[in-house]
Amino acid sequence: MIQLLAHPLHFHFEAGTSRGVLTEKTSYFIQIAHQGKIGIGEAGPLRGLSPEFEEDCLPAFQKAIANIKHLPEYAEEIDTFVQAIPFEQPSLRAALEMALLDYFHEKNGIYFDNAFSRGEASLPINGLIWMGSPEFMRQQIADKLAEGYSCLKLKIGAIDFEQEINIISEIRSNFPSAELTIRVDANGAFSPKEAPTKLERLANLDIHSIEQPIRAGQWDAMRKLCQLHILPIALDEELIQAREPMALLESIQAPYIILKPSLLGGFAASQAWIQAAENRGIQWWITSALESNIGLQAVAQFTGEFNNLLPQGLGTGKLYTNNFDCGLSIQKGHIYSNPHTKRTNPFA
C-alpha cells in the first residue's frame, strides 16, 4: 500500500551556503497505491537544518510508515492523519500529505486544483544566486539577468563580506531598485554584535530584505535587530521546529516570514503560519527546500492557492543532473506548469 524509496539527487555544481557546500542531497519518495489509484510525495530533509538527520532517516521513516495501518477514506481526513506522524519528522509529514493529496485528486501530479496547476497562470519567482567565488557569483547574476529576472536572491555569508558588498554594488550601479529587486540570505551567518553594522552596509544598496541574518533560536537578539529598522528582516530557519507560530511572530515582530512547507510539516502547517502572519500584518513568501521537481511541483501548486504577488523562491528545478520531469518550466522570472506533461515516477 505504501512504498518508500531513497533517491540521491546530484547537483550540477558545488552549491555554496554558509553551512557548507552541497554536491548531493537525498530525497525520500513515498508512493501510495490502492485500488488503481496512485499518489506520490517527497520528503526532503536537509542536513544541519531539519530536525531529521539523513543518516537515520530511512529506518526512521520506514518505522513510521510501518505503523500506518489504514489510509484516510476522505480528503478531509488528511490533516488528522498527518498529525499522527511525530512533529520531529516534518518532511515525512509533508511527504505523506503530498502523496494523499495526489491520491485523492486521481490526476497526474495534481495536488491542488487551481489556475497555476491547470496551466492558466504563472507565479513570479526570484533568481537564486549561490555562494562561491566572485567570478562564479558574477556569472550566475549575468545569466539570471539575461533570462529576464526582476528579482535576485543572493546567498551571502560564506566569502569575504567586502567582496559580497562589491558584487551587490556592481549590480546596483547598473540596475536601480526600480528595475531590480535584490534580496539577500545570510542563513544565520552574522553574530548579533556585528549584524547591525552589516545590515547598514546592505541597506545603503537598496536591498529589499535579508533572510535570517543571525542564527535561529535567538529570539531576543532577533527582536532587537528588527526594532532597529535598518533593513527589513525575513525569518526563515527561525520557523523550523517552532511549535507556536503566534508566540514566535509576536515575540520577534519581523516584517516578513519565509515558508518552506517541506520543513514545516506540510501544507496545512504552512497555512497555519500564513494565517498567523496575515493576522499580524506580516508579509510572506514560499520557497522550495531543494526538493526534486516532484516536491517542487506540489509546493508551487500550493503557492498557486494564494493571491500573493511577491516573487516566490521556486526556481530550483534545474539544480540536479538526475531530476524528474513533471512539466515545470521557467520563463522571464516566472514559473509555469504544463498539466499535460506526464510526471516521471521514481518507482517505475
Q: Catalytic residue numbers?
A: 155, 260
Total residue count of the chain as it appears in this document:
348
10 Å Cβ neighbour count for 56?
10
Nearest to 157 by CA among 227, 226, 215: 215
- Cell, residue 118: 491547470
Q: What is the dihedral of CA 15, 19, 24, 27, to 10 degrees?
A: -120
Distances (CA, A) of 347 to 25, 38, 102, 344: 18, 11, 15, 9
Nearest to 333 by CA among 184, 128, 132, 169: 128
Strands 123-124 and 334-337: antiparallel
Q: Are 344 and 31 in contact (CB under 8 A)?
A: no
Distances (CA, A) of 194 to 134, 155, 191, 200, 261: 23, 18, 5, 10, 31
Phi, psi (deg, nearest 5) at residue 179:
-100, -30
Exposed, middle or buried, 231 (CB in 10 Å: 0-12/13-18/19+)? buried
**Residue environment code for 99-122, b if the CB has 16+ CB neighbours within 10 A, otherwise e:** bbbbbbbeeebbbbebebbeeeeb
Tell me the C-alpha distance between 279 and 93, whole Å.
Answer: 25
